[in-house]
Amino acid sequence: MMGSGITPWLLQRLSSVYLGLYGSCIAICWMGRPAPDHAAWTAWVGQPWVSLGMGLFVLALLLHLWVGLRSLLMDWVTRTAVRAALNGLLLIGLTGVGLWALRTLWRAGL
Amino acid sequence: MRFSIYRYNPETDAEPRMQRFELESVSRGMMLLDALLRFKEQDESLVFRHACGEGHCGADGVNVNGVNVLACTTRLSILREPVQVTPLPGLPVIRDLVVDMEAFFSQYRAVRPYLIADDPEPEVERRQSPEQRAGLDGSFECILCACCTTQCPSWQNNPERYLGPAALLQAWRFLNDSRDTATEERLNDLAGPYALFRCRTVMNCVNVCPKDLNPTEAIGRIRRLMLKSSL
Amino acid sequence: MVAVRGHGKVYNGPCSEYQNLFMGRYTSVMPARERNKAHLLIGHRPPRPWLSAASLLSSTQRWAGLFLALSTPYFLYSFDLSLRSEAGFTQVLQWVQSLWGRLWTLACVWAFAAHLAAGLRLLLGDLGLGLDREMARRSAWAANLFPWFVVLALLIGWR
Ligand code: SF4
């Protein structure tokens, strides 16, 4: 299967573009501004472009994390059984993080 | 000039050791291979490979102060003392500086480094235009010295499954050949997460290649070709 | 410093990416069936591992990425807490503005900038740009320095 090599690689590159752009946008957006209070903060996060963007951000992040950590395991863990177990843990962990993020964003008004 | 050279004979030695050698007079333009040959006069048991002595055959790849080089094209004047000469890393040592290149060559064979052309054989020969021929520049010059592959950390991590820069450069050489018709099979050979995609663009291969070739670029081109053909 | 490991057969020579000085190399270059014969080769100074700008960058990217990956739950937790209630928001704000919070933020910004710069260079490489020996060396230096400039800028901004 050609896909098992090129697909993760492509996902990694595509997600990195979004992560870099959105991450830098948010950073620049808050640079030099004073810290908000709770109401302003929730209102800001509740804006559709922010919360939708963050939803996508989380999705891209999960993909990026999966590809990166998977290749790290391929390089550093030589025992197949151990690597498979760690890959399983990784998937469970990522799913957990994803659900958690979804709940948070949902509450914030996604 | 002080040298420290890796000595190991698996049949008699329990473990490898480093042996000191001293070179009294260093003349201008003297290469590392000349020094090794002097040392062999001093101690006949020292073993290393060498053949053409001018960087054409790729037999005398060794690791010097951490960097893979060809002994015959490395000037003594650029080396820092004490010069530590060890075998190419990551390959089984047969004796002293001689390593077993079988793992390296089997990866070379794995990319089928020969022309595969299914179209009917022409009367005279399979022609290429000058431009098509120029596309092969920078890939056919490889002398298979294994300097690049054994210096690659990704290959060191996965020596059995990642093909390494030298083999991948040759894969590109035939993927890029206008006469070759087996592009799809070749790409399928490189599929999967290990064979091609363990490259992380560390570019050690480009830095050490004695022929100034660029395996990293070739790997990138293979990826782009793969992307195009899978879309 | 890394010790040269010899064992029955394979010579594990110096390697040039820092990640491999810490782990990986010793576990995988040796085939598993020969690993038990492994022993340290001591009594001489091992060759200095050779480290180019690009391999330093590659290691930095990997370690920074791992650091960011492991701190994802931290970010998510603070984000969650800050949105939940007034009290949680104040808590997060106080932590971020404390000395340790600032240092931690600085570390995260450094890691993000380093990972980003190295990644940008890889993306350009994917497009076939800057892959010749000289350009790659220069861009590796630039990307190595980039996170330090970002951190410096942030420190100046905080003053
Ligand atoms: S690409 Fe260069 S370093 Fe690698 S085997 Fe060929 S000649 Fe040697």
What chain A holds in terms of domains, given with CATH numbers, is 6-108 (1.20.1300.10)
The finding on whether B213 has its CB within 6 A of some atom of ligand 1 is yes
Centre of ligand 1 from the C-alpha of residue C73, in Å: 44
The finding on whether B166 has its CB within 6 A of some atom of ligand 1 is yes
Taking CA atoms, A54 is separated from A14, A47, A48, B152, C97, in Å, by 16, 11, 9, 38, 24
Closest CA to A72 of A19, A24, A8: A8
Mean pLDDT of all residues in chain C?
75
Q: Are residues B114 and B85 in the same domain?
A: no
Residues in chain B within 8 Å Cβ distance of C49: 66
Q: Are residues B126 and B206 in the same domain?
A: yes
Q: Are residues B58 and B130 in the same domain?
A: no
Mean pLDDT, rounded, for B142-165: 90
Q: Are residues B55 and B117 in the same domain?
A: no
State how far the Cα of C13 lies from the Cα of C41, in Å rounded to an integer: 11
State how far the Cα of C1 lies from the Cα of B227, in Å rounded to an integer: 41
Mean pLDDT of all residues in chain B?
90
Our measurement of the distance from residue B67's CA atom to the centroid of its chain's CA atoms, rounded to an integer in Å, reads: 13
Q: Are residues B11 and B54 in the same domain?
A: yes
Nearest neighbour of A74 by CB, restricted to B158, B190, B223: B158
Which ipTM did the prediction report? Answer: 0.90
pLDDT reported for residue A110: 60
> C37 versus B104: which is more confidently predicted?
B104
pLDDT reported for residue C115: 96
Domain coverage including residue B72? 2-99
Residue of B56, B155, B211, B212 with the most ligand 1 atoms within 8 Å of its CB, for mutation:
B211
Q: Are residues B84 and B155 in the same domain?
A: no
% of chain C with per-residue pLDDT over 90: 51
State whether the Cα torsion A75-A78-A84-A89 is positive or negative: negative
User: Which of these three, B66, B99, B132, is where a domain ends?
Assistant: B99
Q: Are residues B124 and B210 in the same domain?
A: yes
User: Which of these three, B99, B127, B149, is where a domain ends?
Assistant: B99
Window B:135-194, CB contacts with C under 8 Å: 150-151, 153, 156-159
Q: What is the three-state SS of chain B?
A: CEEEEEECCCCCCCCCEEEEEECCCCCCCCEHHHHHHHHHHHCCCCCCCCCCCCCCCCCCEEEECCEEEEHHHCEHHHCCCCEEEECCCCCEEEECCEECCHHHHHHHHHCCCCCCCCCCCCCCCCCCCHHHHHCCCCCCCCCCCCHHHHHCHHHHHCCCCCCCHHHHHHHHHHHCCCCCCCHHHHHHHCCCCCCCCCCCCCCHHHHHCCCCCCHHHHHHHHHHHHHHHHC
The finding on whether B148 has its CB within 6 A of some atom of ligand 1 is yes
> C10 versus A21: which is more confidently predicted?
A21
User: Which of these three, B64, B99, B134, is where a domain ends?
Assistant: B99
Q: Are residues B85 and B118 in the same domain?
A: no
Per-residue pLDDT of B55-91, as tens digits, reads: 899 999 998 887 889 999 988 888 888 888 988 888 8
Does the pLDDT at position C11 exceed 60?
no
Which domains are assigned to chain C? 2-42 (no CATH), 53-157 (1.20.1300.10)
Residues in chain B within 8 Å Cβ distance of C25: 153, 156-157
Nearest neighbour of B63 by CB, restricted to C10, C14, C24: C14
Taking CA atoms, B69 is separated from B33, B72, B76, B165, B209, in Å, by 11, 9, 12, 16, 8
CATH for B113: 1.10.1060.10
Centre of ligand 1 from the C-alpha of residue B67, in Å: 14
CB pair distance less than 8 Å for C76 and A97: yes
Q: How many domains does chain B have?
A: 2
Please state the pTM of the whole predicted model. Answer: 0.86
Q: Are residues B181 and B209 in the same domain?
A: yes
Window C:42-71, CB contacts with A under 8 Å: 62, 65-66, 69
Per-residue pLDDT of A32-58, as tens digits, reads: 778 788 888 888 888 888 888 999 999
Q: Are residues B93 and B106 in the same domain?
A: no
- The pLDDT confidence band at residue B213, using thresholds 50, 70 and 90, is very high
Q: Are residues B139 and B214 in the same domain?
A: yes
Q: What is the interface size between B and C, counted as CB pairs within 8 Å?
A: 135
CATH for B24: 3.10.20.30
Does the pLDDT at position C146 exceed 70?
yes
Does the pLDDT at position C29 exceed 80?
no
The finding on whether B152 has its CB within 6 A of some atom of ligand 1 is no
Centre of ligand 1 from the C-alpha of residue B65, in Å: 19
pLDDT reported for residue B50: 94
> A84 versus A110: which is more confidently predicted?
A84
Q: Are residues B83 and B106 in the same domain?
A: no
